[in-house]
């Protein structure tokens, strides 16, 4: 059965959305391999609920936790410019390939885990959709777990998608 043949309150995985009202879907992106797949899922869901997709990219102003509070304004400006170009490209792809008009994009500075939660509160997001990819055990051990922090502190439900699991 194709997605277009499903009842409006059922997604392609058979999940029923009875009584669910989504007004804003926040999708944090890091431009990794899972970004486009996550955005395509979010826009597909948004089309069912006639809702807005807000794409968020977070730039971390300091290079490491142990570094002093100095920021490198030239580097940050370059990172913002590159991120802005990439977000424009992604939104363009979504508008053309997915036919989605209600997409906004923004860039914020700070630690991703904190910025995502505060943006969800500020924008009154109804849902956060985050993509994740498989990592080695060492990478998981050494890397802060942004997804876990967002799940534990989010003011709204969080949907975590594993890349390669979604068929369009």
Mean pLDDT of 87-93: 87
Q: Are strands 24-29 and 127-132 parallel, antiparallel or unpaired?
A: parallel
pLDDT for 54: 94
**Alpha carbon separation from 91 to 27, 37, 129 (Å, rounded):** 12, 13, 16
The full set of domain ranges for the chain reads: 23-162
Whole-prediction pTM: 0.77
pLDDT for 140: 55
What is the SS3 assignment for 103?
A: strand
Give whichever of 57-66, 70-79, 85-94, 121-130 has the largest mean pLDDT. 121-130
Q: Which residues 6+ apart lie within 8 Å of 84 measured at CB?
A: 107
pLDDT for 125: 95
Say if residues 43 and 98 touch (Cβ distance below 8 Å).
yes
Q: Which residues pair with 54 in a beta bridge?
A: 26, 104
pLDDT for 151: 93
Q: How many residues does the chain have?
A: 168
pLDDT for 142: 46
- How far apart are alpha carbons 151 and 159 in whole angstroms? 9
Measured in degrees and rounded to the nearest 5, phi and psi for residue 164 equal 80, -5
Q: Which residues 6+ apart lie within 8 Å of 50 measured at CB?
A: 102
- How far apart are alpha carbons 25 and 44 in whole angstroms? 11
**CATH class of the region 23-162:** alpha beta
- How far apart are alpha carbons 73 and 59 in whole angstroms? 12
The rounded radius of gyration (Å) of the Cα atoms in the chain is 17
Over 60: is that where the pLDDT of 68 sits?
no
């Amino acid at each position: 059965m194709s997605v277009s043949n499903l009842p409006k309150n059922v997604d392609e995985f058979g999940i029923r959305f009875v009584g669910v009202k989504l007004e804003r879907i926040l999708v944090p992106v890091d431009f990794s391999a899972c970004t486009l797949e996550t955005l395509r899922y979010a826009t597909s869901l948004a089309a069912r609920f006639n809702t807005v997709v807000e794409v968020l990219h977070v730039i971390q102003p300091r290079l490491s936790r142990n570094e002093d509070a100095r920021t490198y304004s030239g580097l940050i400006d370059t990172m913002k410019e590159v991120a802005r170009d990439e977000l424009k490209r992604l939104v363009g792809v979504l508008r053309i390939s997915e036919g989605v008009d209600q997409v906004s994009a923004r860039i914020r500075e700070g630690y991703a885990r904190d910025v995502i939660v505060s943006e969800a509160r500020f924008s009154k997001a109804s849902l956060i959709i985050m993509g994740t990819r498989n990592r080695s055990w060492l990478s998981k051990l050494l890397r802060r777990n942004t997804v876990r922090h967002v799940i534990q502190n989010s003011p709204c439900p969080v949907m975590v998608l594993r890349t390669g699991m979604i068929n369009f």
